[in-house]
Amino acid sequence: MAPNGTKDVNGRPRRIVAGIRERRQAVHELLSHGCPLRGISRDLQLDYYTVRRHARTPDVDDLLVQVTYRRTLLDDFMPYIYKRFAEGCHNAGQPDLP
């Protein structure tokens, strides 16, 4: 089973995705109370530009696109990796068995 980006291979939410959702919710909650961006940055101990990005983005999915669809060095090999995993190979040191 291939992960969809927001969940890991076991179907659990990825920690980075949960963190982004929580930070965005906290930023928007403080914004609704009229707090300035610098104050939110200080209160949440986040970089000002991170707070600004969360404040300006209307939908959390726009923030998640940057995290969930990154290209990796393994992307070209993922079909083979998934095939081997489905065959029962859970260790890179396991030899190819016919």
Determine, yes or no, domain membership for 8.
no
Determine, yes or no, domain membership for 85.
no
3-class SS string, 29-90: HHHHCCCCHHHHHHHHCCCHHHHHHHHHCCCHHHHHHHHHCCCCCCHHHHHHHHHHHHCCCC
Structure tokens at 71: 């290209």
Full residue range of the structural domain in which residue 56 is found: 15-69
**pLDDT per position in the chain (98 positions), as tens?**
334 566 666 667 778 788 888 999 999 999 999 999 999 999 999 999 999 999 998 887 777 766 656 677 888 888 888 888 888 888 877 776 55
Determine, yes or no, domain membership for 59.
yes
Please report how many Cα atoms fall inside a 13 Å half-sphere around the Cα of residue 89, on the Cβ side.
14
Rounded to 5 degrees, φ, ψ at 7 are -125, 150
